[in-house]
């Protein structure tokens, strides 16, 4: 079983739509959680950390459900520039980071 699982998509949504991605992780002792964004042939870039109480950054909202071991990312009012692959990343107790395969999003004009 993979440490981190994501629906690879692709998600194709119109501009202005709201889209949500989910991610599940297998290690209940995992410590920290992140969403990264990766554009085609570029490096992963931190989008936001995910906190237990949930957190919001502009149009982006991240939620963590420790009981069910899943993390979500909600993007409101999608922009063309949001098109990218979104990576769910989980850090375990040994400070090792595990990546999901990524969810592909394309925002259509």
Partner 1 sequence: EAGVTQFPSHSVIEKGQTVTLRCDPISGHDNLYWYRRVMGKEIKFLLHFVKESKQDESGMPNNRFLAERTGGTYSTLKVQPAELEDSGVYFCASSQGFGGGQPQHFGDGTRLSIL
Binding site for partner 1 (CB under 8 A): 2, 4, 31-32, 34, 42-46, 49, 87, 91, 94-102
Q: How far is the CB of 43 from partner 1 (least distance, A)?
A: 4
Structure tokens at 9: 């998509």
Q: Pseudo-torsion of CA 49, 19, 83, 90, nearest 10°?
A: 30
Q: Which is nearer to partner 1, 6 or 78 (CB)?
A: 6
Residue with the two structure tokens 């889209």: 19
Indicate the helix (H) or strand (E) that contains 50: strand 44-50
Between 65 and 96, name the residue whose CB sits nearer to partner 1: 96
Q: Residue 72 or residue 101: which is nearer to partner 1 going by CB?
A: 101
Min CB(18)–partner 1 separation in Å: 25
Q: In 3D, which of 104, 106, 87, 105 has the Cα closest to residue 25?
A: 87
**Between 43 and 58, whose beta carbon lies closer to partner 1?**
43
Q: From the CB of 66, what's the least distance to partner 1, in Å?
A: 14
Element (H, E) at 32: strand 32-38
């Amino acid at each position: 079983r993979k440490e981190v699982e994501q629906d690879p998509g692709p998600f194709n949504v119109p501009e202005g739509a709201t889209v949500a991605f989910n991610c599940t992780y297998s290690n209940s002792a995992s410590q920290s959680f992140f969403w990264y964004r990766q554009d085609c042939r570029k490096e992963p870039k931190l989008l936001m950390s995910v906190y237990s109480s949930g957190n919001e950054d502009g149009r982006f909202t991240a939620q963590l459900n420790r009981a069910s071991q899943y993390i979500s990312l909600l993007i409101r009012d999608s922009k063309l520039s949001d098109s990218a692959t979104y990576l769910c990343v989980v850090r375990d107790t040994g400070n090792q980071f595990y990546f999901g395969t990524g969810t592909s999003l394309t925002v259509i004009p």
